[in-house]
Amino acid sequence: MSFKAAAIQMCSGVDPVKNAASMARLVREAAAQGATYVQTPEMTGMLQRDRAAARAVLADEAHDIIVKTGSELARELGIHVHVGSTAIALSDGKIANRGFLFGPDGRILNRYDKIHMFDVDLDNGESWRESAAYTAGSEARVLSLPFAEMGFAICYDVRFPALFRAQAVAGAEVMTVPSSFSRQTGEAHWEILLRARAIENGVFVIAAAQAGRHEDGRETFGHSIIIDPWGTVLASAGATGEAVILAEIDPGAVKAAHDKIPNLRDGREFSVEKIAGAVAGGVAA
């Protein structure tokens, strides 16, 4: 069965209460347009570079306002609400970058902790060390929903195609990639990476994004996007500001893509041997 999916673009600030209110307004807008699955971006609850200030307002899962709001919205609207991720305080003093999928009754159907930490130094002077504060996840899941088999990733995970391939082999028809891509890396790689993950696995990709200049000074790329299994962009947003984008998702298109290009079926085990460089007359022994 086909369903209408929405990706919510936000510009989250440092106050979780204000961000929760923005999320609620945009999710209701998406539902009013017929969306039965709505995804919000990575770090919906707060973007705050000052980690001491962030820790001062973080809550555990049971007391987090974004988790509470997501559950209430799903139940109120009778839809699936996917909080792309929010920062959750852990008992050991570290933080989880955790996504939540809520069913129409408000219950949590799935949690996903971002597996790959963004520890990079960019040419423009930006330096990120997520692993200094966040605990990496270690488990990928494919969730069977009434309308599709869904896989999960967050932002930097998109650069690790093995994660997507494993979920596609396990039956995922829709891959979700809520993100907070930096402007520099987004300009270079955002769309091409997401379209590649869709094409090479023959799946839909839904990626809600943070967008614009944030209160903490960072700048995110935006361009929330929904892509079909053939790599066609079904909907996209702009570079800045809030947005709601929608697209009809037909899981039957996944089978059609696999029938045309059966690369999941045709994958083979192989070994990799590292050998010496070429020499005159052939390959060195």
List pLDDT tens digits, range 72-90.
999 999 999 999 999 999 9
What 3-state class would DSSP assign to 158? helix
| pLDDT, average across residues 63-67 | 98
Residue 122 and residue 114 in contact, taking contact as beta carbons nearer than 8 Å = no
Reported residue count of the chain is 285
pLDDT for the residue 121: 66
Walk me through the domains of the chain, giving residue ranges and CATH numbers: 3-260 (3.60.110.10)
| pLDDT, average across residues 155-171 | 97
Mean pLDDT of the chain: 94
Planar angle of CA 57, 60, 63, nearest 5 degrees: 85
- Is 255 a residue of the active site? no
Q: Where are the alpha helices (DSSP H) in the chain?
A: 16-32, 51-57, 65-77, 161-169, 183-201, 252-260, 263-266
| pLDDT, average across residues 178-195 | 96
What confidence tens digit (pLDDT) does each residue in 200-244 have?
A: 999 999 999 999 999 999 999 999 999 999 999 999 999 999 999
What 3-state class would DSSP assign to 269? coil
- Is 274 a residue of the active site? no
**pLDDT band at 1, cuts 50/70/90?**
confident
Q: Please determine, for residue 113, whether its predicted confidence score (pLDDT) is greater than 90.
A: yes
Residues 15 and 215: their CA atoms lie apart, in Å, by 10
Give me the catalytic one of 4, 11, 114, 130: 114
Give me the catalytic one of 11, 130, 149, 155: 155
- The secondary structure element, H or E, covering residue 202 is none
- Is 72 a residue of the active site? no
Give me the catalytic one of 4, 42, 130, 149: 42
